Structure 1
């Protein structure tokens, strides 16, 4: 628990003073009682019945003051609330190496299906955008809550030459910064999910992408598609296109993201949970002073009731 107005807690220093005054008065009361020589009057001034009752009302009253001072200092508790501007950028590799059929039906088809399922399963509080990349990277769906637009943009993707993973990250970051009017100065909390077979053959380097993502505080999680045995036929020539998991892992770990493999369905299911836990909520401190004021009221009622019941007066 924290306090939104902690400076008001100085009032707690008054409680020991009140307790001290109360103790002094009780001692004076006992001293005053023994001065009476009239035994009949003494039994009324200092009765022999247990004196604990007279302290109960005082204790309840002091507890009430304690709670009221705490409430006055505006206590607050940390609560998790949804982040309405949270944005996910999905970057899909459309390079020719994604034609390899070592992943059914092929890397490209598997990546598109995984991207669409990922978007469909995202909580509604997330905005989502789509980037495609081959020799260059393009924002094909600006980040928004429109799931249909994002999925349709994936259906329209077409293959092209070369692979620019670094450019995909830079284009995704630019998409995040253009999310709304305040995003350039106050970017939304964001995460990039990049689906690829791993080679970076053109454009800015993976290390430059890592540096840019870290500077923007945007993690990049990667999903690797392919095996070491993939091949593609380009212009009548068969070319080996082994998946480069190390490049993708370097990108993910360098940006505090996670690296996954498309072949592992259990790992893929973790993507949603990990992103949801890091982006879906933010911690805010909410004033709970009313809680303490309400409890203080109960103690006030209890103090008044005890005093009326035992002494026929209010404390």
Structure 2
């Protein structure tokens, strides 16, 4: 336990002084009663008639006073409270295939609309970051609880070139690391640098961070996404993959060329299974909104310093009232 105003603890010196004052008054009262009794002026007024209960109200008052003086120092205790907390990275595929309209109005716009609804209902304890990836990946919004900034960064997204799922995963991992005050984990191009080895977390231990990978799953640019997914799994970071598009696919006109694009569910399922996440397939924008609602932050128990002055002050006042009630009931006076 710590104290915001520790100097006020000096007021506790009043407690032993109050005890000495009570003892002195009791001795004085006994002497006065004895003198009056010897003169026949206080018939029947003796300590034995009042009994030991005459000390109970003052004792209760003393406890209440001690608590009140203790509360003046504004004590703070470490309290473990369950709360929804963590980091969610929204990793958007911004490749050219996300302009397809097999998910109305387009894959990209449906994903953005659902993300906006998801962000608006999240608690302040949840940090949300936004990553965009095509041939490479980068964080367009570091993890924050500023909903306006997050939505603004999503609105700026637009379809670009080809798709590297690995780049999206690595950029998301780096955004999580930076959000936790750590340096970026790895380079986004695993094909040019060795895959870093991480000490896997024990089974069942999860980092309070998840990645929502919104993509059509077509990995059209190197490197392979599975080594990157394994890095996430070793760090206890789950990847929830959301398949945008349809298995039948559609044909797009990109730079004068006709390109057929279709959802690759097999890759997305394997990524989610590898990391302990889950794969979702929305058939329309409403389904996508429901998927977002089903992905909730992890419930964690976190120790926080909490000032307990109101609790102690309230308890002291209650105790003082109880002492006063007993004194009025038994002696028709306050101690």
Relative to the length of structure 2, the TM-score reads 0.57
3-state DSSP of counterpart to 2:182? coil
Distance (Å, rounded) in 2 between the aligned partners of 1:266 and 1:55: 71
- Corresponding position of 1:274: 295
- Corresponding position of 1:184: 182
Offset at residue 183 of structure 1 (A): 1.9
CA-to-partner distance for each residue in 1:8-41, whole Å, 9 max, x for gaps?
xxxxxxxxxxxxxxxxxxxxxxxxxxxxxxxxx9
Of 245, 251, 272, 2:265 maps to 245
Q: 1:130 to 1:307 in 2, by over 3 A?
A: closer
CA-to-partner distance for each residue in 1:132-181, whole Å, 9 max, x for gaps?
32333233455554246403421xx23323x32122010122234445xx
Q: Confirm whether residue 130 of structure 1 aligns to residue 130 of structure 2.
A: yes
3-state DSSP of counterpart to 1:263? coil
- Corresponding position of 1:166: 166
Indicate if the aligned counterparts of 1:143 and 1:175 stay in contact, CA closer than 8 A: yes
Of 199, 204, 213, 1:194 maps to 213
Q: Aligned-pair RMSD on alpha carbons?
A: 4.9
- Corresponding position of 1:291: 311
Equivalent residues in 2 for 1:28-43, closer than 5 Å: none
Relative to the length of structure 1, the TM-score reads 0.59
Q: Count the aligned residue pairs.
A: 267
Q: 1:266 to 1:280 in 2, by over 3 A?
A: farther
Moved more, 297-306 or 223-232: 297-306
Of 209, 227, 234, 2:228 maps to 209
Distance (Å, rounded) in 2 between the aligned partners of 1:289 and 1:81: 22
- Corresponding position of 1:111: 111
- Corresponding position of 2:246: 227
Indicate if the aligned counterparts of 1:99 and 1:232 stay in contact, CA closer than 8 A: no
Unaligned runs of 5+ in 2: 4-42, 186-206
3-state DSSP of counterpart to 2:111? helix
Indicate if the aligned counterparts of 1:89 and 1:143 stay in contact, CA closer than 8 A: yes
Indicate if the aligned counterparts of 1:190 and 1:279 stay in contact, CA closer than 8 A: no
